[in-house]
Structure 1
């Protein structure tokens, strides 16, 4: 169903505590989840649910990381503008 390479790529992309989160979302035991990611045989139904849940976790982690990066850039750029921002080019501290 899924190639070993696809499973290993997905495993590498998973965030910390992924097995716990997948177990909570799917109701599948963590031992079955570990078996799936370590190349063991699991039922097709379980493999599909684990793979789908893992993909969603990776997607959520990427969205969260992107959102945090955007916020960081926005905040740091605003801070930099307030630091550099007088009309005459003089530095202005954030406390003034």
Structure 2
């Protein structure tokens, strides 16, 4: 079953350019429907990244990024509280 998809002129031009590049580099003629279907299949492998691309502002860190950040922390053995920080920052 085929359904029409509306897109702006810029997106249509990008799709046509992609179609031409695929033909040029692979020698295979593919339809725009095939390209869109393949793009959708490739996005479903990493849905969270794709969905995050539509968020406004900062994106929350994933668990791997948080773990990587925490690996960089070290303990100096000195306990610091808010008054120490205020003294260092503001004198």
TM-score tier, shorter chain, comes to 0.3 to 0.5
Could you say which structure has the higher helix fraction?
A: 1
Q: What is the TM-score normalised by the length of structure 1? A: 0.32
**TM-score, length-normalised on structure 2?**
0.33
The structure whose RCO (Cα within 8 Å, separation 6+) is larger is 1
Structure with greater Cα Rg: 2
